Structure 1
């Protein structure tokens, strides 16, 4: 592939970062998927983006499947290819999008792990006696209270909170902002944390949650602290930020039945993403049914 052809990948990544303002994590996924497509083209002696056709893309998807990639991973790669070719067409470099009609093999959808209400209560019953325990309790209360992604949690600034209205503004995927309510227990935990926070960070620091060095806390640190508390408090299974978010969604849907409202709270652009929690709720009902109904299960004579 010539330099003139190869440079379009750099132009595309620049477009994603500047015009679409995608996160570093999303950019990394795009790069990995398109690098794989680029490598396939080189091995197949396809020397121009315009020379790639739908049959080639199907071969690429089949090769990724043989490598052991899941259906969702292949679908993501095909989506990256479609977006890239849409960009190339906009720049008048190609006239067709070879990935449009190609579908990835379906893979079974895994239901998210959740904690039940009693487990949540046990996890959030953190004994607060120092800045770190106060911070950790506030972080976990807020994720469960408002259904935050961990990336949204660590990016929060003090100015994003409104104690008077019991609300906060978060910036989610695609730089889209949404306003969320904060529960009473989370507000109390945050208020307690703020009293400790001033002891470990200068007044110029804008981040709501900081490390013991006074800097904005990282995603990895949040994950490690939640894993620590899960083990210390004897919670069954691994405790991680997204499990609290899943628990929030499941409990909200179970109590309200309002799928659209849960979609808005979670910041899902597509309601089909939220619908997985209806399957989770149905699985819970099936478990209850099988345990409670006298004729739900066959019994040996």
Structure 2
């Protein structure tokens, strides 16, 4: 999972930064900088980050281990009435998908997600492009059909003198 701290560089907004624990034995862990959008920064503001910038703390006031945070995620989703199956990894995938759907450059997505190569990142971009193409096709068909319908309506009108 990794330890992330929140920083506020001048005039750039807030960032979560830390070293990714995934694949740390193979790649040494990748340093990540994740932008914190204004809505998230406002939600995090009242939380106590006095011990190392940790936002989510366990009952002992320390950061969660990966295993305990996964268990708490399951507990929180049940409390919220959310069906089983929503996971921290699912939130991560949602983040990558959202970035791709916002048309963020693939390299930027790779860096934000902490991927060590473009292979996985390309999946996010391909899926977003498929959706974008399907929407564009549907829009084009609807526009063409609307024009056809307008032409049919015009031909039915006759001016009689």
Check whether TM > 0.5.
Answer: yes
**TM-score, normalised relative to structure 1:** 0.37
Please say if 1:226 is aligned against 2:73: yes
Higher relative contact order (Cα pairs below 8 Å, separated by 6+ residues): 1
Match of 1:37 in 2: none
Aligned residues: 131
TM-score under structure 2 length normalisation: 0.65
Match of 1:187 among 41, 44, 65: 41
Matches of 2:126 and 2:62 in 1, distance apart?
A: 40
Structure 2 stretches of 5 or more lacking a match?
A: 143-161
Q: Is the 8 A contact 1:167 1:179 kept in 2?
A: yes
In the TM superposition, what whole-angstrom CA distance separates every residue of 1:210-241 from its partner, at most 9, and x where no partner exists? Answer: 21122321212222222233334344561111
In the other structure, the counterpart of 1:163 is 8
Are residues 1:178 and 2:32 paired?
A: yes
| Structure 1: 5+ residue stretches without partners | 1-150, 198-202, 295-301
Instruction: Report what 2:124 is aligned to.
Output: 277
Shift in Å, 1:251: 1.0
- Residues of 1 paired with 2:99 and 2:107: CA distance? 11
The alpha-carbon distance between structure 1 residues 229 and 277, as it changes in their structure 2 partners (threshold 3 A), is: same
Residues 171-180 or 265-274, more deviating: 171-180
| Partner Cα distance (2:134, 2:81) in 1 | 24
1:242 and 2:89 are equivalent in the alignment: yes
State the 1:243 CA deviation: 0.8
SS in 2 for 1:193: coil
Any conservation in 2 of the 1:163–1:187 contact (CA below 8 Å)?
no
Structure with more strand by fraction: 2
Q: Going by fraction, where is helix more abundant, 1 or 2?
A: 1
Instruction: Using the TM superposition, give the Cα deviation of residue 162 of structure 1 relative to its aligned residue in structure 2, in angstroms.
Output: 1.5
Q: Quick check: 2:32–2:113 contact (8 Å CA) kept in 1?
A: no
